[in-house]
């Protein structure tokens, strides 16, 4: 009986942990399961449940894996930024008998997915054609604000984890300055880009705009703000979403300038697909290109919105397959 080599892949975020199997030969992802992180004590529990369900057939071998984690990975001990999970890479590896176990930043995984994407997995927003030999920038808003970048080198893809979502929020007009001044009161004076460009960022922008208009804000969740903006039932919610889109563009433009990202800027994350039509009509691209003397430079750089539903799992699979000798 032939043995099908499957790789355990994961996308572990602040809200959900997704696990799947990656075919070593093809990179195809299958058997995807989702686990709300609030419902489980730690990563070991969801891996145990998953393997008990999917690793029982005798013709499937799972002894290697790659998990994308939504936090900085600087040592063997990992503490999640946006949930309560904390664990040791070595202990997880030993507990489940893995011969190889990689844990990578979640946006490292997103960047590694890019070589695996087809034209149907992205939507281009402006710019010219991407240059295949130039740097690629990746960012996206969800529970937090993730950032990574990718370059081709010697027939491989080299990805660099980053924590660019924690750079300072940089306003460019009076309204954005007012948003900064309001938000500073709640974060010891320093406001990172993630405090604005994330789910909680939508709430921060909404509350700031309410204060500017001397209106008592309602206790809204990000989905409430989005729904009211799309239904046009709340003008402040509409303005919140408008600000969010242009600020997302400004941040992406800064990333493109920093990297010289003529390979393209790729926008990921779970927020934008929820209001795609609104985003398409927004000033996102205007914010992206609004770089003064370098606006003409920015006009050439393409932005791609990733629409693939499981980018983290796809990228985790690509990462470990390349590490094990597969050419992507």
Q: Does residue 250 sit in the same domain as residue 316? A: no
Distance between CA atoms of residues 253 and 301, nearest Å: 9
Domain presence at residue 103: yes
Q: Does residue 289 sit in the same domain as residue 206? A: yes
The response to whether 137 counts as a known ligand-binding position is no
Domain presence at residue 328: no
User: Which residues touch 105 (CB under 8 Å, ≥6 apart)?
Assistant: 68, 69, 70, 71, 72, 73, 146, 148, 161, 162
Q: Does residue 72 sit in the same domain as residue 147? A: no
Check residue 324 and give its pLDDT.
94
- Split at pLDDT 50, 70, 90, the class of 81 is confident
- Split at pLDDT 50, 70, 90, the class of 55 is confident
Q: Does residue 142 sit in the same domain as residue 237? A: yes
Token output for 320: 């470990």
Q: Does residue 94 sit in the same domain as residue 46? A: yes
User: Which residues touch 11 (CB under 8 Å, ≥6 apart)?
Assistant: 17, 18, 67, 68, 106, 109, 310, 311, 312, 313, 316
Check residue 2 and give its pLDDT.
53
List own/partner pairs for 25-31 with CB under 8 A and 24 or more apart.
27/116, 27/314, 27/317, 27/318, 27/321, 27/326, 27/328, 29/310, 29/313, 29/314, 29/317
- Split at pLDDT 50, 70, 90, the class of 36 is very high
> Would you give the DSSP letter of residue 190?
-
Q: Does residue 172 sit in the same domain as residue 303? A: yes
In this prediction the pTM is: 0.89
Q: Does residue 34 sit in the same domain as residue 164? A: no
Distance between CA atoms of residues 100 and 170, nearest Å: 41
**What is the mean predicted confidence (pLDDT) over 121-125?**
96
Q: How far is CA 300 from the centre of its chain?
A: 24
User: Which residues touch 156 (CB under 8 Å, ≥6 apart)?
Assistant: 322, 327, 328
Q: Does residue 227 sit in the same domain as residue 87? A: no
Give alpha helix (H) positions in the chain. 43-54, 89-96, 106-113, 174-184, 199-212, 222-231, 235-259, 276-280, 284-289, 295-299, 311-323
Check residue 244 and give its pLDDT.
98
Nearest CA-CA partner of 73 in 12, 7, 19: 12
Check residue 56 and give its pLDDT.
72
Domain count, the chain: 2
| CATH number of the domain where residue 67 is located | 3.30.420.40
Domain presence at residue 152: yes
The response to whether 307 counts as a known ligand-binding position is no
Percent of the chain with pLDDT over 70: 98
User: Which residues touch 42 (CB under 8 Å, ≥6 apart)?
Assistant: 85, 86, 87
Q: Does residue 218 sit in the same domain as residue 171? A: yes
Q: Does residue 297 sit in the same domain as residue 315? A: no
The response to whether 12 counts as a known ligand-binding position is yes
Which three-class secondary structure state does DSSP give residue 198? coil
pLDDT per residue as tens digits for the range 164-221: 999 999 999 999 999 999 999 999 889 999 999 999 999 999 999 999 999 999 999 9
The response to whether 39 counts as a known ligand-binding position is no
Q: Does residue 94 sit in the same domain as residue 108? A: yes
Nearest CA-CA partner of 290 in 325, 324, 256, 244: 256
Domain presence at residue 150: yes
The response to whether 11 counts as a known ligand-binding position is yes
Give the range of the structural domain holding residue 293, as residue numbers without chain letter.
118-307
**Is it the case that residue 45 has pLDDT exceeding 60?**
yes
Domain presence at residue 251: yes
**Is it the case that residue 59 has pLDDT exceeding 80?**
no
Check residue 1 and give its pLDDT.
41
Which of 58-72, 87-101, 155-169, 196-210 is the least confident region? 58-72
The partner residues of 125 in beta bridges, in order of sequence, read 303
Check residue 58 and give its pLDDT.
63
The partner residues of 101 in beta bridges, in order of sequence, read 65
Nearest CA-CA partner of 35 in 21, 16, 55, 53: 16
- Split at pLDDT 50, 70, 90, the class of 57 is low
**Is it the case that residue 5 has pLDDT exceeding 90?**
no
More confident residue, 251 or 1: 251
User: Which residues touch 190 (CB under 8 Å, ≥6 apart)?
Assistant: 168, 184
pLDDT per residue as tens digits for the range 241-281: 999 999 999 999 999 999 999 999 999 988 999 999 999 99
**Is it the case that residue 149 has pLDDT exceeding 60?**
yes
Q: Does residue 35 sit in the same domain as residue 85? A: yes
């Amino acid at each position: 009986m032939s043995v099908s080599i499957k790789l355990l892949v994961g996308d572990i975020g602040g809200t959900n942990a997704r696990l799947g199997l990656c075919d070593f030969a093809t990179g195809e992802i299958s058997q995807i399961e989702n686990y709300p992180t609030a419902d489980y004590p730690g990563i070991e529990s969801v891996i145990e449940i998953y393997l008990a369900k999917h690793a029982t057939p005798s013709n499937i071998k799972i002894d290697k894996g790659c998990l994308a984690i939504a936090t900085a990975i600087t040592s063997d001990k990992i503490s999640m930024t946006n949930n309560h999970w904390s664990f040791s890479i070595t202990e997880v590896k030993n507990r489940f008998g893995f011969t190889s176990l990689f844990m990578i930043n979640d946006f490292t995984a997103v960047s590694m997915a890019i070589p695996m994407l087809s034209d149907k997995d992205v939507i281009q927003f402006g710019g010219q054609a991407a240059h295949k030999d130039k740097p690629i920038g990746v960012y996206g808003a969800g529970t937090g604000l993730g950032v990574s970048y990718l370059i081709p080198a010697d027939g491989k893809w080299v990805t660099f984890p980053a924590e660019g979502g924690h750079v300072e929020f940089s306003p460019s007009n009076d309204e954005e300055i007012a948003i900064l001044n309001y938000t500073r009161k709640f974060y010891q004076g320093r406001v990172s880009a993630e405090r604005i460009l994330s789910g909680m960022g939508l709430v921060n922008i909404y509350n700031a705009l309410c204060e500017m208009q001397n209106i008592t804000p309602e206790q809204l969740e990000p989905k409430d703000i989005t729904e009211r903006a799309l239904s046009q039932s709340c003008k402040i919610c509409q303005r919140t979403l408008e600000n969010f889109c242009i600020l997302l563009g400004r941040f992406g433009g800064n990333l493109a300038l920093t990297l010289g990202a003529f390979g393209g800027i790729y926008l990921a994350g779970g927020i934008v697909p929820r209001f795609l039509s609104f985003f398409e009509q927004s000033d996102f691209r205007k914010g992206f290109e609004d770089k003064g003397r370098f606006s003409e430079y920015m006009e050439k750089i393409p932005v791609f919105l990733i629409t693939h539903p499981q980018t983290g799992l796809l990228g985790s699979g690509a990462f470990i397959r390349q590490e094990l000798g597969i050419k992507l």
